[in-house]
Structure 1
Amino acid sequence: MTWMSGEAGRLVRRVAGSLALTAGGLGAGATMAAELPQYEVQPRNRLCPLASHAFAYDTSYLKNFNILVQGRDGWLFRSEAELPEQFGPSAQGLRHLERFARYLKDSAGSELVLVFQPTKGLVHPDKLADNAAVDFSWAYARSNYLDALAKFRQAGLVVPDLGPLLRESERDDAYYFKRDHHWTPYGARRTARIVADRIRQMPVFQSLPTQEFETRRTGLIRKDGSLQDAARRICGQAWPSQYVDEYRTNPGGGIEGDEQSALFGDEGLPSITLVGTSNSKGAQDYNFAGALQEYLGVEILNMAVAGGSYDGSMFEYLMSDSFRESPPDIIIWEIPAYHTLDSGEFYRQVTPMVSHGCQGREPVLEHTSAVTAGTNEVLYNGGGKFLELPSNEYLVDLQFSDPAVKEVDAYIWYVFGRKDRVDLEYGSRVETTGRFMFELPSGPSWNDELFMSLDLELEPEQVSEDLTVTARVCRRQDI
């Protein structure tokens, strides 16, 4: 017989010994089941001491989990991503976001609905151990999270109130997986109900055609969580899998799969598009888009990207034929709240994507160049014909011959020697066509600067044989 080690093994040995003693003294036939001792064996998985040290997170993958925190009942948290106390962008970032949302509505007719998903610590503070290795004030974090939602609304965005999700006293199931960074199907469905209730109040929704959708349980999801995988890599220990119910939503009448996709067909794309993270579309489907369809009665085009962070699916969608040819009435943007939405470089890129960069317009400068690894000058405002190009009035549109190019550093030079840098990067899972665009910087200190030239710097792994880039400068459409 093989014996288990640890506390579970000791309990099993005690039970076995008790059974043997009882059987020997009374006889098996005389023993009543009610007289046998009862034991409950609890798993004792706990993080090893090494997991509490930042130096243990020494790979690009493990850095996403810095630092794991042990919770109650086998729960795990990430201190940086799931236990922050501050949320939302700075005042300047909020102005960028407000401008982007307003331009999206004015230029494309698409209203932005921001789903700012609360963190694991906000929703499940009861699963944090009293002696957690990180300082976390739930009351302070809650106040700051609700304040961020209010600021988003003041900036003119449609922001469903997810405050009721925080520390719900009556919850049918867990909102998050115990040892994973995703919401459960229950969490997705609970969020979808709140989001749908808010969208139904939007005037634009009143004109949308509706249909019936039904949701059915289809089986189980087995979740070997990302946090427990990180713990395994650091501590070398195994954790049990978690199982939750799986659901699928289909149009009323049971239409499924390819038949459902064919409904787009001759009637064009849906009037509502969902962009976001693997919470909305990933290796496992938590049915967020499906639940939205059920509660709204409207078909959803799901353009979320797993592993694309908060920006990847927005980049991919705004540059797609789907958006260019048929912009939706509503764009739902699902974002975990540990993203601050504060990156100026993001807004400089995403805003001109709304109006498709220089597409369909005459550029003031254009040149096609062969490019190699290192620094390449691809545009020069001169050669006997200098154009006065104030920085705040223009944008740059780049098209590489190889769609696999996903990362490039752009250096913009100005007449009096000033220089600006923009890091352009798409995630590895974001499907692009080798196209980048960005606005030249604006603001009181930049508006009088005159564009002179553009250099692009590429790493060797980004450069294929005979790679070329067509660089254009054109006027921004939002001024």
Structure 2
Amino acid sequence: MKQSYPGRAFRAVLLVVLLVGWASSSSAVELPEYDIQRCCDLCPLTASPSSYDTSYLKNFKMLVQGEDGWLFRSEAELVEQFGPDLEGLKHLKRFARQLKETTGTELVMVFQPTKGLVHPDRLPDTSPVPFNWNLARHSYGEALDRFRQAGLVVPDLTPLLAEPPGEEAYYFKRDHHWTPYGARRTAKVVAERIKKMPAYQALPKQDFVTRRSGLIRKDGSLQDAARRICGFAYGSQYVDEFRTESAGTGEAGGASALFSDQGLPPITLVGTSNSKGAQDYNFVGSLQEFLGAEILNVAVAGGSYDGSMFEYLLSDNFRQSPPKILIWEVPGYHTLDSSEFYRQVTPMISGACEGTKPVLQNTTAVGVGVNEVLYNGGGQFREMPSSEYVVDLQFSDPAVKEVDAFVWFVFGRKDRVDMEYGDRVETPGRFVFELPEGPEWNDELFMSLDLELKPEQVSEGLTVTAKICQRQDV
């Protein structure tokens, strides 16, 4: 197994020089012996699930040693199956259709290939975690096809898999993000597909240029996890940094004349820290250069695959000026099959109870624990089949990020919906979700709604306005 260690050659030469000089002046004295250990192989603790015992470390199960100082996560970067199950795919298809029919927005899925798919040559021949690259490659390609069948525009990123060794690395050695080189190669493929969309043809165009702006120092997230478990530190990795600017104005692409004079750009990107974070890998900048079009970047670092989508669809930007094209950047290890996600995000497209009269509405104070906020009774019972209704909650404090909802039905059945926005996701304290649907739910009639709040979510004088109204897509 090859390893590279900055400064080792220099230290070795210095040691030899010092020893030779010392020996020449003290030949009669016995030379000392040194026990030199190479750095850095993962310690045995990384092979134990119990080592990943914090909310942070659980994201790095299980660290796997690669060649030449590379690190992988077995549960995220060495997966062999991709994409949603059939139920999740059905929800995704309805979401994309609602987006197109309600706002005219077309959804482009950038389903980023995993580290194992792109860099299988960096895995050792005797990896402790089995990884069948051919199986993973086939499953990844099938997932892209299923997304297309669901009505999404899906660029074919399979040419980026198993890139030749001569290319600048797509991923950082010991981090879960793509490098600026990987981001740029992805942007080129994505732009080529978007250019074939009729929606793109009518967009205003302008020129962008990309220039090297410096270096990115990367102390990777995986090496940080290794440090916390094993106690040693890897060296930093350095790669080129790039910046894209509008060629016409010399201003940064995110604040160009087109943006300021004509309102919001016609293309929006939602995504993760690959697209917007503490360090800029220039994915959006490269997209703007290849497309010749302005892009509104609303990605959220640390928001997972769903955080920026929640934040954007609840924003005034989306409500007042929906884009022609919505690009969704998603790391490939996300399955996208959470029914709770689609029950929330789909009614956000139409605004849930906005512009329609609620069937039930109540404003009440809420506290820690379970609170009843809606009740269908009191001599005014309304027949509300589950499959036809949506709940819209607005808290007085926008800092509320988490709430558990319990929906009770007339004949005693109960449904639970756990809703949570990440700490870095900025929302107005609003939650929406559809009542459950399907053959086993369609005949159930809504009775009441309880909300459970944790102490950290409850501020003094907290109230919630709860509404239930007919779904606008029914």
TM-score normalised by structure 1 residue count: 0.92
Q: Structure 2: which 5+ residue stretches go unaligned? A: 1-6, 28-35
Contact map agreement 1:8 1:42 (CA 8 A) in 2: no
Q: Tell me, in whole angstroms, the C-alpha distance in 2 between the residues paired with 1:411 and 1:19.
A: 79
Tell me which residue corresponds to 2:181: 186
Shift of 1:282: 0.1
Amino acid paired to 2:408? W
Shift of 1:12: 4.5
Q: Tell me, in whole angstroms, the C-alpha distance in 2 between the residues paired with 1:170 and 1:212.
A: 32
Shift of 1:258: 9.6
CA 1:6–1:278 in 2, change beyond 3 Å: closer, same or farther?
Answer: closer
Q: Tell me, in whole angstroms, the C-alpha distance in 2 between the residues paired with 1:160 and 1:450.
A: 43
Q: Tell me, in whole angstroms, the C-alpha distance in 1 between the residues paired with 2:366 and 2:97.
A: 37
Tell me which residue corresponds to 1:116: 111
Match of 2:416 among 406, 413, 421: 421
Shift of 1:256: 2.5
Match of 2:244 among 243, 246, 249: 249
Shift of 1:6: 9.7
**CA deviations over 1:202-259 (Å, ceiling 9, x no partner):** 1111111110000000000000000000101111101100000000001004522599
**CA deviations over 1:329-374 (Å, ceiling 9, x no partner):** 0000000000000100000000000011101211010000100100
Tell me which residue corresponds to 1:28: none
Tell me which residue corresponds to 1:31: none
CA 1:152–1:23 in 2, change beyond 3 Å: closer, same or farther?
Answer: farther
Shift of 1:7: 9.9
Shift of 1:132: 1.2
Amino acid paired to 2:422? G
Contact map agreement 2:253 2:294 (CA 8 A) in 1: no
Amino acid paired to 1:109? G
* Equivalent runs, 1:386-405 vs 2, <5 Å: 386-405=381-400
Q: CA RMSD in A?
A: 2.2
CA 1:464–1:174 in 2, change beyond 3 Å: closer, same or farther?
Answer: same
CA 1:202–1:23 in 2, change beyond 3 Å: closer, same or farther?
Answer: farther
Match of 1:197 among 189, 192, 195: 192
Contact map agreement 1:317 1:323 (CA 8 A) in 2: yes
Q: Structure 1: which 5+ residue stretches go unaligned? A: 26-40
Q: Does 1:328 align with 2:330?
A: no
Shift of 1:14: 3.4
* Equivalent runs, 1:457-468 vs 2, <5 Å: 457-468=452-463
**CA deviations over 1:164-220 (Å, ceiling 9, x no partner):** 010022652000000000000000000000000000001111111110000000000
Q: Tell me, in whole angstroms, the C-alpha distance in 2 between the residues paired with 1:207 and 1:338.
A: 34
Of stretches 335-344 and 257-266 in structure 1, the one that deviates more from structure 2 is: 257-266
* Equivalent runs, 1:68-467 vs 2, <5 Å: 68-169=63-164, 171-253=166-248, 255-257=250-252, 260=255, 263-467=258-462
Q: Tell me, in whole angstroms, the C-alpha distance in 2 between the residues paired with 1:80 and 1:442.
A: 32
State the secondary structure of the residue aligned to 1:323. helix
Q: Does 1:47 align with 2:80?
A: no
CA 1:255–1:9 in 2, change beyond 3 Å: closer, same or farther?
Answer: closer
Of stretches 14-23 and 127-136 in structure 1, the one that deviates more from structure 2 is: 14-23
Tell me which residue corresponds to 1:34: none
Contact map agreement 1:188 1:286 (CA 8 A) in 2: yes
State the secondary structure of the residue aligned to 1:158. coil
CA 1:19–1:160 in 2, change beyond 3 Å: closer, same or farther?
Answer: farther
Shift of 1:130: 1.2
CA 1:15–1:144 in 2, change beyond 3 Å: closer, same or farther?
Answer: farther
Q: Tell me, in whole angstroms, the C-alpha distance in 2 between the residues paired with 1:22 and 1:186.
A: 51
Q: Percent identity?
A: 69
Report the count of equivalent residues.
460
Shift of 1:45: 1.2
Q: Tell me, in whole angstroms, the C-alpha distance in 2 between the residues paired with 1:87 and 1:414.
A: 36
Q: Tell me, in whole angstroms, the C-alpha distance in 2 between the residues paired with 1:229 and 1:378.
A: 44
CA 1:410–1:186 in 2, change beyond 3 Å: closer, same or farther?
Answer: same
Q: Tell me, in whole angstroms, the C-alpha distance in 2 between the residues paired with 1:57 and 1:259.
A: 39
